Structure 1
């Protein structure tokens, strides 16, 4: 695509070139179909409208994978925590083919239209809202430090070599609440896209934001590469008409004026008021959905991340004689959430172990044995059990997480030397 074409593409000119019209037809079909099927929580209530189409795609994509592409990987794993499944990429390819075929058919059927200014305007509205609402979603959840939580006890005891690239990125980003709030504020600034007068500034912000998200996803193997790339390309799409102007501003030291996207004229007063009412109502529904969603997230966090009454990191003390109830190679045990403990053996290999805690009777079932337990004033846990006429006692020596270098090293204005441990 030449520079001159990019400069002229999708502007409000009276007559468009054939190449510009075909490019727009393809973009129009592809973007709308992508937004409709890959809503990702952006537009409120859309998940109820597009559900039949999503179910239809879940039938078409496997058939297309098997009979047309002869694809060998598992194409029946639909979008889950990963947005980069085989199904996602193949469905994206199907949307590309549909858009290409639709653009060709549209070109053959429409020989008279000189431009698509009105369609372009409404397409930019959908794109602006799609980017803004999705990033506001992500930004809001970062403000409450819920997307990337701070490292818990299990993470603190996990050697660096056991981290996956995504786990490393999530731990790094989640460590700082302040940085999460900063990321959340930057993403929420995409609200500027909701207004025509600030749309260019908003697109510049979301372009930079989406580049950062996209590169983290690529280089740390976070499976949201498809959607983050889409956010970047859609932000770039919004800036296409302004590239020449922005180039002059940043590289040629020119005084420039950013043209405002011309909204289609509404002659009737009721039409103008209806559009305004719809916008206010739409944003109101979105705001309500955001508020209720954050409340739900907070409830889920308190429910699923409820700390165990024995919450802590403990070293298993074996100084009180032989112990037969617990494996000899158990070295450290971590009680964090729920009724699943993480054990580190003498070789520091991780083992997951289920346990049951009865706080009313002060008993804990661990390794299929029922122990009486007592929590000492210093936080240590003493276990005891009658076995073969003898009382076997085990002591869990508690470690204070605040002693970890990652926890005790705070912010410092003055540093005479680098503190890199």
Structure 2
């Protein structure tokens, strides 16, 4: 369809007002919640956050009357008070913008050109984000195998999210299945395959949203918006799909109308699309693989001997040193490990490993001041020693190491069976 027909199509008042709201809301949401979708957007986001980390808490306290501290910055949750206040702010701005826009632009016939560019933004936002998540499942970096700590918990001790992560992390095959379904969002990046891709993507995103809601996974805001955006993109073919599925009528699916571009602009857009696709597949796969895989020090380590400043650590030493006695540590990932201390609290630490020099640097998650500079020595397959320092204190720990702990559990050694003479439900 040419530009003349695009510009002369008359939209109803409801269509125009609705579009103004959705255009403003979705663009603002993408702008403030990129979540790794658009390439290199994180650099821009750093400047935005300098403003938002002050403004959003102000909105929460002044307009919504929130009395407690609104914490900012990433912490692994996408459903913090800050995130919900940000959504409220986006919604409020969208309503005000829609009113002002409707008053100032009453004579506009339609917004088909803007609609096209909005669909481009949504297609690439939803598509690239799901490709990102999908590749993390294909190489199994999002859901790790059940850890030693998980295997030693009862079902009742695990959180709903922990139960979901155990269920999803158990099977490499199911991760591959989920990953392929999410990577199928690549069809969203092409107008001719958009409807086919949206049918798969909507089902996939709805399932992710359901898991997030019903297993208390703190990514409810993002997953809900992926579903809403998919529905919005599919809306222009709702009537045709309704006739096909419920009345068995022959239909023709329509493409989103594309403005007519000059030859030079068309070539530029094509090059840009190719560059984005290159980012979305090989580069995103590379990023997803970082931190994936098992650590060469993988294992569960129980503390046999713990010394601080060359003295055996005793119960009365909790206030003498900067170090709390360790009970155990678990290393599985190349990037992260968990330490359980004498007070039965577990903490996550980032790992920097230098195998050539047997160096191990641990920095506590959410507390950059707690950094252990250690050297390690494997005496044999069962005995492991680390020594080093935390601030002004020296540390020496001897561990009993268990490497192949999965073979001791039914969950991890049961395997797959084509034939089951009776249900093996334990």
Matched, 1:307 2:280: no
**1:46–1:370 Cα change, 3 Å:** closer
For 2:7 and 2:419, locate their aligned partners in 1 and report how far apart those are by CA, in whole Å.
55
- Note the C-alpha offset of 1:51: 2.8
TM score, norm. by length of structure 1: 0.78
Out of 231, 253, 256, which is 2:248 matched to?
Answer: 253
Report the alpha carbon displacement of residue 145 of structure 1 after superposing the two structures with TM: 0.8
Instruction: Identify the residue that residue 136 of structure 1 maps to in structure 2.
Output: 131
Deviations for 1:145-189, whole angstroms, at most 9, x for unmatched residues?
110100122211112221011011001100001101111100000
SS of residue paired to 1:50:
helix
Q: Cα deviations across residues 368-396 of structure 1 (Å, max 9, x unaligned)?
A: 997888xxxxxxx6xxxxxxxxxxxxxx9
The TM-score, its normalising length taken from structure 2, stands at 0.77
1:359 has 2:378 as partner: yes
What is the number of residues matched between the two proteins?
366
Aligned partner (choices 42, 49, 59) of residue 47 of structure 1: 42
2:390 is aligned to none
Cα gap change, 1:335 to 1:101, in 2 (>3 Å):
closer
CA distance in 2, matches of 1:215, 1:198: 26
**Alpha-carbon distance between aligned partners in 2 of 1:343 and 1:399, rounded to the nearest angstrom:** 23
- How far apart are the structure 1 equivalents of 2:150 and 2:386? 24
Query: Does 2:197 align with 1:197?
Result: no
Instruction: Confirm or deny that 1:284 pairs with 2:303.
Output: no
Structure 2 gaps of 5+ residues are 1-5, 305-311, 316-326, 348-371, 388-393
Q: Secondary structure at the match of 1:297?
A: coil
Partner-residue secondary structure (3-state), 2:276: helix
1:6-405 superposed matches below 5 A: 14-266=9-261, 268-298=262-292, 302=294, 305-307=295-297, 311-312=299-300, 336-337=330-331, 358-359=377-378, 364=385, 401-405=406-410
Structure 1: gaps spanning 5 or more residues: 1-10, 317-323, 328-332, 374-380, 382-395
Give the conservation status (yes or no) of the 8 Å contact 2:39–2:279: yes
| Equivalent residue, structure 1, for 2:411 | 406
- Aligned-residue Cα RMSD (Å) equals 3.3
Shift of 1:284: 2.4
Q: Is the 8 A contact 2:303 2:398 kept in 1?
A: no
Distance 1:159 1:207 in 2: 35
1:84–1:225 CA contact under 8 A, matched in 2: yes
Shift of the 408–110 alpha-carbon distance from structure 1 to 2, 3 Å rule, reads same
**If you compute each CA radius of gyration, which structure gives the higher value, 1 or 2?**
1
| Aligned mates of 2:15, 2:35 — CA distance in 1 | 30
1:418 aligns with 2:423: yes
Q: Deviations over 1:220-270 (max 9, x none)?
A: 10000000000000000011111111111111111111012221112x321
Q: Distance in 2 between matches of 1:175 and 1:312?
A: 18
